[in-house]
Amino acid sequence: MTPLYGIILGVIEGLTEFLPISSTAHLILASKVLNIFQSDFVKSFEIVIQFGAILAVVFLYWKKVLPNKEIIKRILAAFVPTAIVGFVLYKIIKGFLMSNLMVIVWALILGGVAIIFLEHWHKEKENDVAEIEKMSYRQCVTVGLAQAVAMVPGVSRAAATIFGGLLSGIKRKTIVEFSFLLAAPIMLAASGYDLFKSGFNFSVDQFGVLAFGFVTSFLVAIVAVKFLLRYIQKHNFVWFGIYRILIGLLFLLLILN
């Protein structure tokens, strides 16, 4: 895997991490198109550069979050159920799901159908929670459990948390921002645990590729976060659902052929 491929995957990660289209699926499918073999290093690379994108949120939101204990407590409440599921299913996720293209493609397609259905069915109410600090702990745990579903590559962590929040009575902008913030401890834990399990057994060149991907995903994600916050002010996620279905069907045809 070359530094150029690391940059390409970093761009893809930064663009897709916070959109409801599954960054993991896009990284794995892009690796397939680029003929990058799914070695242990590549699988670790695809996990760790996601934390590069998450640092963009830390960069953008740290002044709002660090002084606010109520936000931190709610992030932790949502983090716990996802962390437990991720720890228990780590071997299955990395050893089987991340290399199963059919699982990924069908998760993209069915997730797209679910997004379109939920957007047409769900109507925001006036009494929906408008501030993260006012989310109940029950709502936080619900969002955390929804996020755990995104352990399946192709589901999308952003989609799972956002729609879990919408269905539990949280306003769109609020749950989108909470989804951004919740990503930080999840990806820190996932990246750290993966590097620990791999024993840091990477060559100097591999660490260089990882650095290129990490920095690129960080810079691109800053742009993506700002775009999504502007987008949701006037639009819903139906077009993302349509995109998921189309890209899933395209790769399904490629796999079958």
Longest Cα separation, the chain: 55
**pLDDT at residue 198 greater than cutoff 70:** no
Return the DSSP state at 19.
T
> Quick one: pLDDT at residue 126?
87
Q: For residues 156 and 111, what is the distance between their CA atoms, to the nearest angstrom? A: 8
Q: For residues 112 and 248, what is the distance between their CA atoms, to the nearest angstrom? A: 9
pLDDT band at 111 (very low <50, low <70, confident <90, very high): very high
> Quick one: pLDDT at residue 16?
93
Sign of CA dihedral 136, 222, 214, 115: positive
**pLDDT at residue 174 greater than cutoff 90:** yes
**pLDDT at residue 199 greater than cutoff 70:** no
**pLDDT at residue 200 greater than cutoff 70:** no
With beta carbons less than 8 A apart as the criterion, state whether 86 and 148 touch. yes
With beta carbons less than 8 A apart as the criterion, state whether 232 and 173 touch. yes
pTM of the shown model: 0.84
**pLDDT at residue 201 greater than cutoff 80:** no
**pLDDT at residue 89 greater than cutoff 80:** no
